[in-house]
Structures are given as C-alpha cells and as structure tokens.
Structure 1
Amino acid sequence: MKTILNIIWLVLCGLWMFVGYMLAGVLLCITIIGIPFGLAAFRIGVYALWPFGRTVVDRRDAGAPSCVGNVLWLVLAGWWLALGHITTGIVLCITIIGIPLGIANFKLIPVSLLPLGKEIVRTDEAFGYAGR
C-alpha cells in the first residue's frame, strides 16, 4: 500500500515539491554559511519525493546551534516551502482520493518550517529513536 501511495504522490505532487526543495537547497548552498541549510533542504526534498513509509523524529543530541539555525531557516526558506505544502495540500483535499495525500502534505509542514534537529527514518525504525 505504501508503494501505491508513493507512486500516486510522486505523480500528483511529490515531483514538484522535490524540485522546490532542490531549488532551495541549491540557492542556500551558494554561500559557505548556507551549506548546512542546503543539505537539510536536499534531505527533506528526498523525503518529500517518497514520504510514505518514513517519518520524522527529533534528534536528542541537537542543541542550541540547531535552534538558531531553525530561526534562520524559517526566514530564508522555511515559510516558502511550508506555503507550497499548504497550497498543495488544500488542492489535493478537493477530491476524495487526494485527501490522504493532502494530509501527508500537511504533515510535512513542521519539518519544512524547522528541519534542523530532526532526522528522517523508516517508520519501522522510529520506535528505536524514542529512547534517545
């Protein structure tokens, strides 16, 4: 079922969201300071391309630098990417078949706003991260 949802996702919105994240990643990698943010955009872009079967977990070892980085990310790229997820999610929720995909888009909003200090793992691995 995850594979079918991922294929439908890829056709309807995954490819476009992936391109948006890759564009943001390339723009952020122009400067040396922006490279960590660009890498985060690339990581989330791959997640946005094929999201079903994976989830986002908090990293316990992320500290103050990731908090400061998240504020910068929010200003530089996060709100643009979140706006893309909101728009795509609303459009997908118009049809009954698109509702699960729209909800998946809404679930990507938090990681698109504040990606640093998070890790993307397979859903069956997520339980192992709860104790960290």
Structure 2
Amino acid sequence: MINQEAIESVINRIKRKKYTWKMSQRVENLNTLSKLKLTQQEVFNYIFDVLTWTDYISGPEMDRHYPPIPGEVWIFGLEINHVNTYLKFQDRTDGIIFWISIHEARFPLHYYFSEQDI
C-alpha cells in the first residue's frame, strides 16, 4: 500500500537526481511548454520547487514499451500557470529521470491523497 512516506521518498530521490532529468520531445509536451510560456528548464525548476506527496496520482507502474525499459513509472499532477498539468516520469535504472509526459491534462486528475479531484 502506498503512503505519504513512500511518495516523499520517491520525490526526494528524483530531486537528488535533478541533474539527470530529461524530457521526451513529444509534440504534446512541446505544445504545453509553449502554452505555458515556459522553457523546459523553467518547468523542471517549478516541478523541483513545488512537487509534493499530495500531487501523487499513481505508481509505481512498469514501462509499457516493447521491450520494456527498466525503471518505475510514476504519475503526478500539478497546476502550472493555471493549467492542470499531467506529469509522468520514469526513474530509470541507468540513473536518468525521464519525463515521459509534461502536458495539459486531457481528463480530470484524480489525486490519490485528495478528496477533491481537479
């Protein structure tokens, strides 16, 4: 069962590896950066400064690629510049934190620890 301590541990682990953060160059991610009027580094800095355990949605999950890329996949949500933003990253076994998704949420986000979904 997932709990606050476990999620805080994940967040602390990825923050210690901020220098390894990379973002997928998917069109959806790039369009969201443009909409937010922020650079990738500015979004990374915002995530680093603001992300907390209450932003957790789900995980850990296994990678769904074939063949799978080793490492746990986690999903969080944040409001960035008044835009509900879906965050999905993989903590890869090679030490890289790979942000698969940083884009405007397509559906309401259901926060695991919140009674109010956004």
TM over 0.5: no
Q: TM-score range by the shorter chain?
A: 0.3 to 0.5
Higher fraction of helix: 1
- TM-score normalised according to structure 2 size: 0.33
User: Larger radius of gyration, structure 1 or 2?
Assistant: 1
Higher fraction of strand: 2
- TM-score normalised according to structure 1 size: 0.31
